[in-house]
Amino acid sequence: MAARRISTVLSRSLSLPTAAASLGRRYGFGSRMHRFSTAAAVLEQPITPPVQINYTKLLINGQFVDSASGKTFPTLDPRTGEVIAHVAEGDKEDINRAVSAARKAFDEGPWPKMSAYERSRIILRFADLVEKNIEELAQLETWDNGKPYQQALTAELPMFVRLFHYYAGWADKIHGLTVPADGPHHVQVLHEPIGVAGQIIPWNFPLLMFAWKVGPALACGNTVVLKTAEQTPLTALYVAKLFHEAGLPDGVLNIVSGFGPTAGAALASHMDVDKLAFTGSTETGKIVLELAARSNLKPVTLELGGKSPFIICEDADIDRAVELAHFALFFNQGQCCCAGSRTFVHEKIYDKFIAKAKARALKRTVGDPFKKEIEQGPQIDSEQFEKVLRYIKSGIDSNATLECGGERVGSKGYFVQPTVFSNVQDDMLIAQDEIFGPVQSIFKFKDIDEVIRRANATRYGLAAGVFTSNIETANTLSRGLRAGTVWVNCFDVFDAGIPFGGYKMSGIGREKGIYSLNNYLQVKAVVTPLKNPAWL
């Protein structure tokens, strides 16, 4: 399963006969995906997944332990708002314990000292164990997060495995340089592990964000303290246990579940953490960056928010453009930092596009994400649910045209109707802010110069999408858009080797690919004199 081309699972491209047909074949629910069964699906008794929750404590120095305070917090099922399990609540003291373990493992332990080949073998054994437990992990991810089970099982978990295969392959291929000097000196440039890496991951893709951060850090020989999102702590603890089964030495990977103002702040400001990586909102990213600077000036990688434009040109096949734009926004309940949340449509096809986009949203199935026919599960929690509804109200109050949706689904859990706004103006809040929910805002544009200017008129610059059959138009737009990724006639293609990150307030640095290794390496120049060298 992990060997399949992952990008085709998470993307919709022009090479497919139709996006809908491809999705049906891959996920095994065919034509049922377009049946509008929202109310019935939500009102039925939710499915209880057959997975045991065995890991709810902190993982420090290879052992599952209670928090120092003894406190726990509930992790909730977003389908119902009911408690799944109580998880150890780490805070500053637990971060101190975890960092101490990571420091000892780096300074005295075998991990950075063992051969890179042996490190790669441990990472590969871990990936194999994940594949053996893939169904349980997918069930746990859906239960804790609310994303469709088929998405977790057939797309995200295989991609997780692929990422660790990728980084295992890099482990013994990281090397330095020799540099010619102007005089009789031998110059080596060494690439060394940076030390203890602090990592803070979000709730929208818990396992994938674990892989994006832990994979390169371990491949480079570092040790890690990772704080999970308080909404979704369960799968990180599970896979960390599998890592130790694969032979990872104690203290190399430490997992602390807890809250941002306590555990997160302690990690960001810790004087013995050598590197920090954070994925989350731009607002929190600013705080993380400040804490890192005020402590020991540790380098920080940030992958933050977005308000990505998705531009549909006048030469577009409207049916395929509608499907791709729908996917770009509604995937993962709209809880995607790079979601195509500003849909720009050329004025000549605007009215036809609106009608078809509305019809597609009305067909979107919302309900229990463990059901095969369901495309959209609940939002992550009550806070995000209420935030989405507030933005919908803002759009209505701003006189954008509500084409469909706009309300909650059912009376239990955090389900929101797929919502489409037309006649959206650039100065509206729904046009400027990251909503992080199933709300599609559709704009009208006249020409390429105008849409480039408007697409770039945002504080974000994470991603963009272009839909056109004209290569010159595609080239003009892809070079003109100020974004870290531009997808042309596809969206959400996340191969392991493709770098991901943003311009402007969408972040600092890149994740995935060869560029991610730079985040976890120090560069050292070693210069020694040469006596009577035969050559320079």
Q: Name the catalytic one among 156, 303, 323, 434.
A: 303
**Rounded CA gap, 253 and 240, in Å?**
7
CA distance 2 to 68: 39
Residue 172: HSE in the Cβ half-sphere, 13 Å Cα cutoff: 13
Tell me the CA distances in angstroms from 129 to 4, 48, 149, 211, one per residue in order.
18, 24, 20, 14
CB count, 10 Å around CB of 497? 12
d(CA 159, CA 170) in angstroms, rounded, equals 17
N-to-C CA span, the chain: 51
DSSP readout, 81-118? Answer: TEEEEEEE-B-HHHHHHHHHHHHHHHHTSSTTTS-HHH
Q: Is 245 a catalytic residue?
A: no
**Dihedral angle, C-alpha 243, 267, 147, 403, nearest 10 °:** -160
Of the candidates 383, 375, 363, which has an alpha carbon nearest to the alpha carbon of residue 332? 375
| C-alpha to C-alpha distance for 534 and 536, rounded to whole angstroms | 7
Which residue in 71, 30, 331, 360 sits closest to 208, CA to CA?
Answer: 331
Helix, strand, or coil here: 69?
coil
Report how far residue 121's alpha carbon sits from residue 102's, in angstroms, rounded to the nearest whole number. Answer: 21
Strand-pair partners of 524: 190
Give catalytic residue positions: 303
